[in-house]
Structure 1
């Protein structure tokens, strides 16, 4: 049984305490009662875009089990509102809550294209794929307004530098012209996130994302245009989408995906509190079951930080999930695979055009 969420169109239903702050903010019942009596809106539930000015944009990734060495994020925070998102904790570093603030306080790095260009022109930089959206989705709603991802793609194309994208938004097809140009030199790959084939599940897990039908259309459109696509079946959440592994793998393979990847949900830091509050309000009939099964995958807790274990989990439930993914690969991706991106061209284009001598 699903109950009505307190705030429509949001994943988190409240802000949680920022661990770096001594003081905390809460919405008291007496204040809510006062607003109701006065006919005032206690929470306008609006998204704010806030400019920030970092000194660098490319990050070296030291984690050995995330499949990338360098990443960049044009936006911090994400309006998609995915309740399970590991990036929520990073919002605390900026002074905000990992709950509603993560979805409603979007930090915009307008100088990202210039910072990227400066990085690619460094004499000591050796080309290596840089992943856009290592933390938050580069095609979230803010991109429609600011177009920073498109500008960064133009920089990658100008300098013939390989890049990869992780997204769950159909807005990526706006930039099909640039993606096709990059694909001609094998400089681009795309990871599309699909966590369910059920719209009911999608709406509660990822309230402001593209529909599943449209995401499958994205996989097909990209594949039809020669752009290699991997699909992230991530995260797998026991008793929410774990039963869909084989159907999802079949659907994305038929749409043209060349491979799949997965993780088992882990609820580190503030995400455990946010997810627990959400599931007890949204899926109260199965909340305890889901939470206990997640704990079963991580040694009796919702958290898991050990490299090599945190993404795949341990125990019987984790083994069942991982075995199903192996079976899905054998059944639907036996003769498929993602190509290695081209790192050979960039050195010739560091000045923005091919060297003549």
Structure 2
């Protein structure tokens, strides 16, 4: 097994980023060093976001996990500039030969042909409709979407096919697409989950440096709700001894903004995320670091993470049960449903394109 290598980065260079280092991926045999051997102090530029283009060969990814309420998803982008330190998707960058650390939030892969490939996959005679999830891995409304518009183009395809879709985001750019979302919601074809991890803007900036402020995300919930789009407020993740005291307040804020449903996920630290999160704790919350990790390990049999289905999302033990009970009590008190209404499947059909012959039936 290859040893993971890491190097810390000057705080001025990583300003506005979540990761404190750029650990090499599990599949990278080369060690990366920051120093070039000359101990000469120099001013080095901050890390810019680089967008790379990838020609996608397929778009709809399948899963059989009993932990999630969907069996298919698409990802217009790989990596995420939001830079959430806790993001469980960070290790996916290792498969691309890049670091789950700063590379994950500065080396973004955009897939401009995604709408074209998605349309072809939906037109297959063997395709059977079910809710398509977007944003479950990386955020489709991260900053790159402003310039590339891949998510909007995919959404237009799904609208034209009358295909049900569930979207998860922290990005307020989703407001740009309210015209599409409102039309789809009127036909019961879409719902949206907006993640609000904390109401504290300072803490939010530390944990998720390029995500809109909590107040701004709540405003997005209101705008979506006013447009008739069913919205779920998501406290994902709950961070032990950091955000757990805010459960009731986050749910109430979501309800006041127009959310009709609420959900939560416990902090998950798979693979490289564990070391990066502990590094972040020592930097920003050194007095709480041992307490946070003690809670995490308590829920996972003494380990930083247990990937077993049924346990990875919520954990086990006294603390996990207490969080679950508090959430359910707040949910009931605020009349927030545990699930959003089921979407319509019976409207799905392939649209007639220009030059195509219309069906007789």
TM-score by length of 2: 0.92
CA distance in 2, matches of 1:52, 1:8: 28
Q: Secondary structure at the match of 2:80?
A: coil
Give a deviation string over 1:215-267, Cα, whole Å, max 9, x none.
00111111111100111111101111000001111111111111111111121
Cα distance change on mapping 1:317 and 1:267 into 2, 3 Å: same
Shift, 1:352, TM fit: 4.9
Spell out, residue by residue over 1:151-183, the C-alpha distance to the aligned partner (whole angstroms, 9 max, x if none).
111111111111111100110001111111111
Correspondence for 1:217: 219
What does residue 17 of structure 1 align with?
Answer: 24
Give 1:16 shift: 0.9
Question: Does the Cα contact within 8 Å between 1:258 and 1:336 map onto a contact in 2?
Answer: no
The structure showing larger relative contact order (alpha-carbon pairs under 8 Å, at least 6 residues apart) is: 1
**Secondary structure in 2 matching 1:86:** coil
> Where does structure 1 lack aligned partners over 5 or more consecutive residues?
none
Go from structure 1 to structure 2 and tell me whether the alpha carbon gap of 1:187 and 1:28 turns closer, same or farther (over 3 Å shift).
same
Q: Which residue in the other structure is 1:53 paired with?
A: 55
**Residues of 1 paired with 2:223 and 2:128: CA distance?**
32
**1:20 Cα shift?**
1.0
CA drift of 1:30 comes to 4.4
1:119-130 → structure 2 map (5 Å cutoff): 119-130=121-132
How many aligned residue pairs are there?
Answer: 348
Shift of 1:44: 3.1
TM-score norm. by structure 1 comes to 0.93
Corresponding residue number in structure 1 for 2:85: 83
Q: How does 1:346-357 map to 2 (within 5 A)?
A: 346-347=348-349, 349-352=350-353, 355-357=359-361
Query: 2:106 aligned to 104, 121, 125, which one?
Result: 104
Matched, 1:28 2:35: yes
CA deviation vs aligned residue, 1:110-157 (integer Å, no higher than 9, x gap): 100101111111111111111111210000000011000111111111
Q: Does 1:206 align with 2:208?
A: yes
RMSD over equivalenced CA pairs, Å: 1.8
- Is it true that 1:238 corresponds to 2:245 in the alignment? no
CA shift, 1:28, in A, is 3.0
1:318 aligned partner? 320
* Larger relative helix fraction: 1
